[in-house]
Each structure stands twice: as C-alpha cells, then as structure tokens.
Structure 1
Amino acid sequence: MWVDLIALFVLAFFCAAGYFRGFVSLLFSFIGLLATYVGTPHLARWIETSTDWSALDPQSRYWVVLAGAASILYFGCNFIGLVVSHFVVGKEEHHKRRDRIMGLGLGLIQGGVIALFLACLVGATPKAMREDSGWVDDQVRGSRLVDAVDPWNPILERRKELEWLTELGDVMKMLSDPNLIEDLELSKTAKEALSDPAIKEVLTDNKLIDALRSQDYTELFSKERWRGVMENEELREAVESIDLETIRTEIEDAQAERAGKIEDIIEEEE
C-alpha cells in the first residue's frame, strides 16, 4: 500500500514540477542529470589536477572535488535552461501555456520512469531483509505496482542470480576446504553431497572454485562456460538440498563422539 502511495506522490510531484517549470527548463534539468552522471568523474579529475588540494587528505579531497564537479554540471545546466527558457518562451501567454503543457507531459514521463525504478528496487528487496521485517514483507507483497513490474524486473532477476551464486559459493567453500577434508568424512550429508555428479563437476574446476571463494561474480557472469554451470538445474537442486548447519552439527557430534571414545580408552589404560 505505502509503496503505491509513494509512487503516486512521485508521479504527482514530477507532473506538477513539469507544469510549473515548463518543458524547456525541465528538459535542461534532465540534461543536467545526464551530464552529471556522465561527466562528473572527468570534470573532477580535471579540477583535481589543475588546482592545489594538498591541504586536504586524499579521502576528503575525493569527496569535495566530486561534489563540486557534480554541482557545477547540474546547476550549470539548470541555469542555461532558465536563460534559454526566457528567450525561447518569452512573455507571450500562449507560448507559456504550450511550454507548461509540454512540461506536464515530460514530468509525467520522468515521474513514471522514477516510480517504476523505485518499484523495481522495492521488488528486489533482499530475502533476508524481508524475513527480518514482517512489515517490509507485507508492503512488498501488498503493492500492486510491484506485482505489475515483477515479471520483467531486471534488478530482481539479478538479485536472484546473486543469491544463487552466494548459496553456491557457501556450499563450495565448505566442500572444497582442504582443512576440512577429514572432518567432511564424518558427516553423512557431506559425503552424499560430495558423491553427487553435479557437485563433483564444479569441484573439479579450480578456477571456478577460486572465483566463488573470492565472490568475483562479475567474472562468473562473463564466462560462458561458467554460465552453463550456474544455470544447471541438477546442480541447483543438489545445492538447495544441502544444509550447511546440518553438516556442521554432524561433524561436531562425530568429533565429540570420537573424543569421548578416546577418553574412555585412556581411562581403561589407567
């Protein structure tokens, strides 16, 4: 409910801003956002190299220069928009009316895009956050807008892939840990997992294991042969059936049982 209300507020705000500011002014504001996104790193680099910032530490210098460059680009484009609007639209009433109606349309488009983007972000709320907060889960489930964008939400699809890779990485880290070879033999669940053909295939690819250990998911997505492994349904089923806590518990119980037997042997010898 609240998600839909916020989306409506965003849409109404941008429509009103577009109407009162006018098409030309709003267009230059939009250009300013694009220029800020694209040009800020380049302008910041030029400012940093052409002026003396030795009085600031590197981290402070980075943020000050970055904020300054972004402000110059954004507010500069907005100022140019005001000047152009003054000369293009002028004081003619019919020009102003047309400019405002076109501004309303552009504001509607901008507000719609931002509202959809917010819905995509909310729809891609991490599973852990939704499980920790029932209120967040209720808001996501109760939003009609989120339901409408979910089928084609690229952020949600990416999040699901990352969650799957994280789960796969956690399992493979434990099963491929050289320090746990003997301990894994004590766990029935671990031995069953290690005998699974899909798990074996992944464990034989050392580069894939290294990428999973380092959580270098960019490299995983870029390698076509690894994409096939990621989309392997048999592997997914095998990984989802593995409970790491069960493996840890079985190892601890086996170690405790073995330690108890050793103590009994020592007591008998004494």
Structure 2
Amino acid sequence: MKDRNKGILYMLLASLFFALMASAVKYAGDLPTMQKVFFRNIVGFLISGYMIYRSGASFQGTNKKYLFYRSLFGLIGVFLSFYAIDRLPLADAVVLNQMNPFFVLILSAFFLGEKIKKLQVPAIIIAILGVVFIIRPQFDYTVFPALMGLLSAVFAAAAYTIIRHLRLTDHPQVIVFYFTGFSVFSTLPFMLLGQFQIPTLFQLLALLSVGLFATIAQLLMTHAYRYAEAGDLSIYSYAKTVFSALLGILLWAEIPDQFSLLGILLILLGAYINYRAKLDPEN
C-alpha cells in the first residue's frame, strides 16, 4: 500500500474512534468539563507510557521544543472547544471546531511548504457546506464564546501541523505520551480545587471509554501524518461526521433527514475532488 493511502486509512480509522469518543462523552452526562478533559488524557498517558516502556524506547523524545508546542496548542484547543461546547448549542460549537482542517491547509502550506492545489479549495468548501447541512447550526450565540470555538479550531490545526513536522524526529507513541502527560498535569490542579464530581458506575465507564477511544484515535491520527501531507489528510477528518451520524442511528435512533443525507454526500464529494486533485500532476 502506498504511503498516502496508508495515511488516509489511518485518518479514517482515527475519525471513527473520535466519533466513538464523542458518543462516550455524551453518555458521561453532566460531569464537570475539566473532569472530562482529565479522563480524556489520563488513559492515553498510561497506555502510551506502557507502550513506550514495553518497546524499550526512550521517554525523553527528540524534538522537545516542538513536542512542547504540540502539547500546548493541543491542550489549548481542547480547553477552548470544551469552553464553547459548555456555552453554545452543541451543533454550533462542533461546526466551529470543524473548521480546523481548513486552517491545517493554510498552516501546512505556510510552515511546511506543502502546496494547496486549485481543486483542493472547492473540495474544502464543499465539505464544509456538507457539515453545515448535517449540523444546521442556529448561530444564536454571543460573540465571545463563538470566537473561542473558532480559536479552538486554529489551535487544533496548529497542533496537527506540528505533528506533521514531528514525524521526522519522534515516534507517534512519544508524541501522544507528551501531549497526554502535559494535559493530565495541567488539569490536575483544577481537579484538586473542586472540578471533580464522584461519577456513577455508568459514568465512570463512559469516562474511561472517552480516554481509551481518544488514545486510539490520537495514535491513529499521529500515524496518519507520518504517511501523508497534513493538507492532503485534512479533508478525511470530516469522516467523523459521517461516523457520528451512523452512531446516532445505532445508539439513539437518530435517523438523518434529507439535509443530513445531503451533507454526507457533499462531504464524500469533497473527499473525491481532493483525491482527484492529488492524482492530477498538472493541477
């Protein structure tokens, strides 16, 4: 299998597990936001640490500067995303955060020198339009939380672009270990200062599932960026919207209406246009 196809496959699998993670967050109920963020990372911190220990690799990492930047930008992105979700309708917060692949294209072109082909521009626009059709945000929110939601996409895109750079120096497990560890120790003080609620058994299982699914998704996504360009993979991250729709049908009997089905078709069309853009050397 070609490296680009491997990258796409890993990104699609990562999107599936991100959708599973979102479902687990929904099952966790009204627990404090900081508690959900903590559990999102503690499982990954332990698993990635164990995997590095078993492999005999070094915990230190090679490019510490960019490992720090990836961790910092990723954590800020998560905080801002959760801030927006807590204060906006969920659909509005999600559609704002879904802007991150567009920012990945810009950042990867500017910092990594990866070219944006002409056909990729309408591909991204069509995919974003598909997301809007699926989510149909109301846009009845105040300015500040909306800006925070949009900024979460910017910081997420910065983190993903840095992952593309780190593929040259550090193993995916090390990248995940640094990010999750940084996140755990950054959120721990908030947990100790009152941002913790004793969960029920069901909520505890949901929280652990959030961490497990997030870890698997992070590892798959990090592998994806080792095999393909950040801008090339960005369109395929929209697959989590498709997977989320399917999980909604299976778990909550949320049957998509005609607008959602149209959105899914638009996303697939955008992915196909992007695929054709990469095949055309003259584009």
TM-score category by the smaller chain? under 0.3
Larger Rg: 1
For normalisation by structure 1, the TM-score amounts to 0.23
Query: What TM-score do you get using the length of structure 2 for normalisation?
Result: 0.22
Higher relative contact order (CA 8 A, sep 6+): 2
